[in-house]
Each structure stands twice: as C-alpha cells, then as structure tokens.
Structure 1
Amino acid sequence: MPLIKPISGKLRAASLLSSILTCTMALAANPADMTSLPVPDGCALAETASSKVAASPAHKQVFPPVALQIRTVIAPTAFASGGRNYLIYELDLQNYSDQTMDLRAIEVLDASKATARPIASFNQSQLKAQLRPIGMDHWQYHAHPHGDANRKLGTGQSAVAFLCLAFEGKQPMPSQLRHRVHLENDSTDGPLIPVQLTPVPVFGGPLTGGDWHPRNGPHLDSHHRMGLVVTDGLAQNSRRFAIDWRKQKDGSQYVGDARDVRAYHAYGENVLAVAEGTVVLARDGYPDNIPRTAAGFEPALPITMENLGGNRVVVQLHNGQFAQYAHLQAGSVKVKQGQQLVRGQLIGLVGNSGDSRVPHLHFQLTNQPDLFASEGLPYVIEQFRMKPAGTEWSTRTQEFPWGDDTVIDFGPAVDRAEAGLGR
C-alpha cells in the first residue's frame, strides 16, 4: 500500500502544512453538532448539579479511624470521546486492619467546592466487576470472574477499583474528586484527588484508510485497561489507553490461510507518526509470528520482556510524552534513533512480531519511554469517521476512539509533496 495518496482538492496546502507541523493540544469538549454515543460498559454517567442526587450521610471521623487506605497512582486526565468527556483511573484500596472488610459501595464526590456533592456511585453489583484483588495473576485481571469475593478485603489485603466517569459535553467537570467507600457497618473518605483538566495531545491517525477496529481499549475487562504490571519495583499501567488496531472486512480479519500473516488485511499497512517528535528507540529484526488459530499459538521466539513488543518505535513528543508503536513487520522500520519526525511520516508497516497473535498495531501514549515501566495517558485524534455497532457513520473531531465492535475510517494518507514536506 503506497504512502502517497491524493488528497481532496478542497484542502489548501497552507492549512494542511500547519496541521502537520503543529503538535496541537485540545481540552476535552463536545461540539454541539457531534452526536453523543452510548456510555461504554463499566462507566458511570456523572450526575449534574441540578439533578436530584441522594447524598449519603456526611462522613464523621471515628476513633479509631477506619483502617482503609484509598490511593490513586496517577491523577485522572479529562479527554473527549463519543460526544462526552471522560475520566478513567484506578483506586488502590488496602485493608490495614485485623478484620475483613466488606465493600458495599464507592461514592464519587465533586470536591471542587467547599461542600462536596456526590456525582456518581458504584454499587455492590458494579463492584463485583470493577474490583480486582491483589494476590492473583495480574496478567489475567481482565478475565477474572465477577463475584462477591472481589468485594471482600481480608486483613492486609489490597484491591484495585477500575473506575470510569462520563460527563455530558457541556457539563462542568470537577477539578478535584474525593471518594467515600461504604463498608458493611461503616464508611470512610479518601484524600482529595486532583483532576487534570489541561489539554490532551491532538494526533493525526496512526494508520490510513478504513475497516479498522480499536480493539482492547480502556473499557471494562480489557487486558489493556487492567494491565497493571510490576516493573522497576512499581505497579504501573502503561497500557491504560492502549489500542490494538486490527483490520476486518466482511466479518473476518483475513482471507485465505489463517496461518499466513500475508492473508490478514492489517498486515503490511502503513504506520504513520501521529505527531512531531524525536525517535528515542527504533527496534527491528524480530521475526513475524505465525498467527494464532484454533490449533494454538507458538511465538517465533520465546517471549521475554525485551522482545515482548516485537519490532517497535518510541517517539518523544514536544510535550515530553512518548508515542509507542509495537508489533511492526520484520524489516519494515523506516526510522532511526535520534531522527526528527513530522506528523504523517512513515514509521514502518503493521506486522505480527513479539507477543502478537494476529497482525495488528499496538499504539499507546505514555509518560516514559519504556513499554511497561510507564503510565498510560489519554489523547484524541484530530478527525476520523466512526461507526459503532448498531449506529450510523459519523465524523468525529478531537475524540478518543474506542469500542471493540466500532469501525474507524482514517481517510487517505496525506500527500506530503503537495503539503510541501517532501518525502
């Protein structure tokens, strides 16, 4: 698939050049003409100030205080998606007492004002799905059964609550949150948590054309969303907003032999730089795997922390964050460490290297260059067309695309010669 494609005659080279050369940033927002899509599974729609929200009794300090630690590793950052604004984050809960704690509800309070008010609550049924106890196979958090056992914190035990809040587009967002955890016979408040309302990066598409599916996004039970990994002595989630971009046509990812990587629609597709930046890592030379089939999967090389991402590229952006591209085709990486990239520049081709079962692009934005020793951050894509299952196509502007059954069309690649950028 060639990188250079004609663009619409309606686009002016000057505006296109400005779009490509500028790593723009945007606040989470919902244009009035953009349709709001359903709230993803596991997300609570935040109540407005005017709605009749039943507030729980004011928390009173008792002696001794409830010995439940409530922490967040990284402050949530607001971003736009599907016509709404979202906060996706985790609470780390630890029982410091000598008694088992039965978690009954987690209440989210808007602590921006003197009198905190409740804006969302997760009940017992929801907590069965959103809580994951520490002390299990953390690589399999996403597949852990939903059950009452997830709500029980034994003495000294910890659990992670994976929370998601959705706000209507014009609804003011809180600058601070507080969480009230209700137990069987008591309740306790956590500390103030700042909300990052600063702009998130606005990217170009990492791919071109249509039939792309943003698999394993930050929805509940995604292995990316629940991808806590202990690296460098810290539990971190670099994949919090990672997406596995797969291509599907007529209900299938391939035509022909399922064991042939070349039979997959995604294989060999161009991977593009989403923004300007400097290449800090460019790794090539790992072979492509034979795709997984019903007969099983065996990677071309034994999987290690070093080769898990396969052939990959990491680009440091002007804002200090890192765009990461993984599982590229063997021998396809087109950039070198230290090279300056412009938005839309060819990085490599979609492959099936590293810990990849079928050809796809793994893309994520992080605060550090390491694939796992970093925290995943949100971003938005400047413009794309989207069709979630059961809905019509719509053009989306400065939103984050997600939903396993959603189809994305990035449009044609930019003609770099017409934009005055050369090749």
Structure 2
Amino acid sequence: MLLFLFWAGRLAAALLPAAFLSGPGPVSVTVAPTRVFLEERAGSHLNFDFAVQAGPDSLWLAKVEVSVYDQAGALVVRKFVDNNGFSPAVSSLSHRVFAPGQTALVFNPFHFFAPDVEVARLAYTFEFQDARRRKVTQQLDVRPERYQPRAALKIPVSGRLLVWDGHDENAHHRRLDYLHPVARQVGIRTNFMRYAHDFVVVNEKGETHSGEGRKNTDYPGFDQPVHAPAAGRVVAAYSAQPDNDNGQDYFDPRAMVGKDPLLLYGNYVVLDHGNGEFSLLGHLRQNSVVVKVGDQVRADQVVARLGSSGSSYFPHLHYELRTGATMNVEGLPAYFTRFELVRGSRRRTVRTGAVDSGDLLVQPRR
C-alpha cells in the first residue's frame, strides 16, 4: 500500500472512540491496540502505539522510558529518550505537544530488542511538563505475546522480489495515524495495515522497472499472477477500478473510500483462512480477479493479476494478514514458508520466517 494522503502535515487534534477516553486527571496514556504482539525476526520487534490524551492543561512530552523484565521478573535492559542534548532524542517522537483534551498517537520508540533480551514485561514511564513547568508522569505495563499464524502462508507472488515497504518503524504502513482528521473523515479508526508488505517484482540487479518507470508495462511485475497465500474462502472482492498508469491517477479517496473503504486498495481479494485470520491482496489489475465471494480457493491458486489500482504509485502487490474483512480491524504478524532470502551474492532458504522493508527474496515459481 503506497498511501499518499493521510500522513501530510503535522498531527491534528481528534477524538478517540469511547474506549480510549480518559477520566479526570492531567493525562491518560493507553496502549493501542490493546493486544500487543512480539514479531520474531533476528530479535523481538514490537509494533504498537500509545494514545495520549491531555487533561485540562497543555502538556509537553519530555521523556519516555522503558524497563524490560524477563519471565522471572528480573530487569534485562532499560532505555529512554529525553530532552537532554543539543538535538534531543525526544524530538524524534511522532507527537510531543498536547493541547487540553487533545488525543494523539505516540509511536513506540522502543520497537526492537536483540535476540538475547527476553521480553516478558515492558514497564513504561511517560514524563510531561505543563505550562507551569510542573512534572506530570504516567506509568503503564505492556505484556506482549508471541503470535504464530495458524495458516501456513506463502508469499503470493513468484520470482525475485523486493519488499518495497514493510512494517518497520519507518514504513508508512506502520505509521498510519488513524487519529489524523482526514483519516477519521473517511472512516479509518484502526491501523489495519500494521503488519503489511508491499511486494515488488525486480530483475536480477534488483531494479523495479525499465526506462522511466512511468508506464505499468515498464515494471516486470505488472500482470504477473497473484496466488492465494493459503487455502480459504473469498469473503470480499472487487475488480472494476482502472489501474493508475502513465501519470493518470484514478484514485479519489473521499469518494471511493466513502463508498467502500476497501477501495483504498483499488481492486482486491480478501480470503478467510479461519481461526480469525484473513488475507488481503490489494492493487490488483483491473478485471483480473478470477474468483468471487463464496468461492473456496486452495493454497497457491491464482486469484488475480498484479496491478496498480487504488492508492498506488506503481505496480506492486499489497499484502496484509488481518483479523477481519472490513476496514477497521487489526493487523497480524505474518510468517511465510519456503522462500529464499537474498543477501547479495548469497542466498539462504527460509522454512518459515518474517520479512520486512528492504528485504530481497526469491519465491520459487508455482
């Protein structure tokens, strides 16, 4: 998903659903989503946000600290960002100033821990200052859980691939600010793409396109088969949206997302794998979807062709594992089976593993 609308400018004030609203007090800090996963990929990766709501006074975020404890309750590591220094680390946070009654997201600054750090409990301390320079603190614990999909997923596109944008701390999927006024205006309430991937077919040199890259046909991935990542039932599908091409953009977010929120992805297929796991395949080529709602599909079955419809700059496949078929669900960590991870001139076969932004892969052809 190459979203080019919702992240422009600074974060604006917006109201959260009632579940997030705080009671009386100077500040409320809550975890969003409430269920936090550890994604294992050469260490522990965390992908969640903090919803911060100021009370009756304006607040400035001055420090965030985390203490990591193991299963035995022993301290493993402690980290913080604060206002110290000429270029303080706290300035890198997504939001620091909170007007009275304002709620905004702060992306978790401590998103990765090394393999030898056992992460059982994370104790966070938020430190704010009010207009009279008084210190205001808020503490909360996070107990993440490891998530392993029950569906045995395969990467839905074959060949040599680049994960153009995944869900690391800098990825736009990770930084979907669902409290942004425009996001809320079109009905976005959660980060459904929290663990998403953009798969781009590349040549042996890792190049995404030939020539100027303006036309869809400049991209080797355009019109390539898109396969079901696992067996499932089709619960949503759309195929009529024209592909953006040669400078022509057919995506109208206000009109289209208001009509069908999933049109954010242009043409799409959603599969229900059971056990609360759904796959969304987006930006498919116009009129290429060959399955319909209610169809049972097998793993590896061709369901469509790769395109550039919806919120897309160029041909690629947007894939996300999620908890439901509609817009406002949550993302789930995805682990793929039987692919090759490319590291320069070396390759390593991965039986089951996660991938993320910048990874070069080879998915054997079906």
Q: Does 1:76 align with 2:36?
A: yes
Mapping for residues 380-395 of structure 1, pairs under 5 Å: 380-387=335-342, 392-395=346-349
Q: 1:335 Cα deviation (Å)?
A: 1.3
* Letter in structure 2 aligned against 1:290: D
Number of residue pairs aligned between Structure 1 and Structure 2: 320
Q: Does 1:166 align with 2:112?
A: yes
Partners of 1:256 and 1:198 in 2: how far apart?
A: 42
Q: 1:189 Cα deviation (Å)?
A: 3.8
Partners of 2:194 and 2:233 in 1: how far apart?
A: 23
* Equivalent position to 1:205, from 144, 147, 155: 155
- Relative to structure 1, the CA distance from residue 257 to residue 403 in structure 2 (aligned partners, 3 Å threshold; closer, same or farther) is closer
Q: 1:104 Cα deviation (Å)?
A: 2.2
Q: 1:200 Cα deviation (Å)?
A: 3.3
Partners of 2:286 and 2:37 in 1: how far apart?
A: 35
* Letter in structure 1 aligned against 2:288: S
Unaligned runs of 5+ in 2: 1-23
* Equivalent position to 2:360, from 404, 407, 417: 407
* Letter in structure 2 aligned against 1:205: I
Q: Does 1:323 align with 2:276?
A: no
Q: Does 1:221 align with 2:167?
A: no
Mapping for residues 197-346 of structure 1, pairs under 5 Å: 197-201=146-150, 202-210=152-160, 212-229=161-178, 230=183, 235-249=189-203, 250=205, 252-256=207-211, 258-291=213-246, 297-300=247-250, 302-303=252-253, 304-305=256-257, 306=260, 307-346=263-302
Partners of 1:332 and 1:190 in 2: how far apart?
A: 51
Q: 1:109 Cα deviation (Å)?
A: 4.1
Q: 111-120 or 179-188, which moves further after superposition?
A: 111-120
- Relative to structure 1, the CA distance from residue 117 to residue 101 in structure 2 (aligned partners, 3 Å threshold; closer, same or farther) is farther
- Relative to structure 1, the CA distance from residue 257 to residue 86 in structure 2 (aligned partners, 3 Å threshold; closer, same or farther) is closer
Q: 1:252 Cα deviation (Å)?
A: 3.4
- Relative to structure 1, the CA distance from residue 312 to residue 99 in structure 2 (aligned partners, 3 Å threshold; closer, same or farther) is closer
Partners of 2:241 and 2:107 in 1: how far apart?
A: 34
Partners of 1:130 and 1:102 in 2: how far apart?
A: 9
TM-score normalized by the length of structure 2: 0.78
Q: 1:278 Cα deviation (Å)?
A: 1.0
Cα shift readout 1:48-104 (whole Å, capped 9, x = no counterpart): xxxxxxxxxxxxxxxxx97221111212112222x2232211111122141433322
Q: Retained in 2: the 8 A contact 1:66–1:187? A: no
Q: 1:324 Cα deviation (Å)?
A: 0.1
Q: Retained in 1: the 8 A contact 2:27–2:138? A: no
- Relative to structure 1, the CA distance from residue 337 to residue 191 in structure 2 (aligned partners, 3 Å threshold; closer, same or farther) is same
Q: Retained in 2: the 8 A contact 1:288–1:353? A: yes
- Relative to structure 1, the CA distance from residue 172 to residue 221 in structure 2 (aligned partners, 3 Å threshold; closer, same or farther) is closer
Unaligned runs of 5+ in 1: 1-64, 133-150, 292-296, 414-423
Q: Retained in 2: the 8 A contact 1:213–1:248? A: yes
Equivalent residue of 2:331, what SS? coil
* Equivalent position to 2:317, from 346, 358, 361: 361
Mapping for residues 9-158 of structure 1, pairs under 5 Å: 67-74=26-33, 75-81=35-41, 83-110=42-69, 119-124=78-83, 125-132=88-95, 151-158=96-103
Q: 1:214 Cα deviation (Å)?
A: 0.9
Equivalent residue of 1:402, what SS? coil
Q: Retained in 1: the 8 A contact 2:147–2:333? A: no
Equivalent residue for 1:29?
none
Q: Retained in 1: the 8 A contact 2:58–2:97? A: no
Q: Percent identity?
A: 22
Partners of 1:391 and 1:186 in 2: how far apart?
A: 54
Q: 1:351 Cα deviation (Å)?
A: 0.6
Partners of 1:93 and 1:165 in 2: how far apart?
A: 18
Structure 1 runs, 4 residues or longer, greater than 6 Å off: none
Cα shift readout 1:227-263 (whole Å, capped 9, x = no counterpart): 1334586631011111111123335322246333122
TM-score normalized by the length of structure 1: 0.68
Equivalent residue of 1:188, what SS? strand
Cα shift readout 1:326-362 (whole Å, capped 9, x = no counterpart): 1111121121111112221111110111221101101
* Letter in structure 1 aligned against 2:137: T
More strand, by proportion: 2
Q: Retained in 1: the 8 A contact 2:67–2:75? A: no
Q: Retained in 1: the 8 A contact 2:290–2:304? A: yes
- Relative to structure 1, the CA distance from residue 86 to residue 301 in structure 2 (aligned partners, 3 Å threshold; closer, same or farther) is closer
- Relative to structure 1, the CA distance from residue 118 to residue 252 in structure 2 (aligned partners, 3 Å threshold; closer, same or farther) is closer
Equivalent residue of 1:128, what SS? helix
* Letter in structure 2 aligned against 1:128: S
Q: Which has the larger radius of gyration?
A: 1
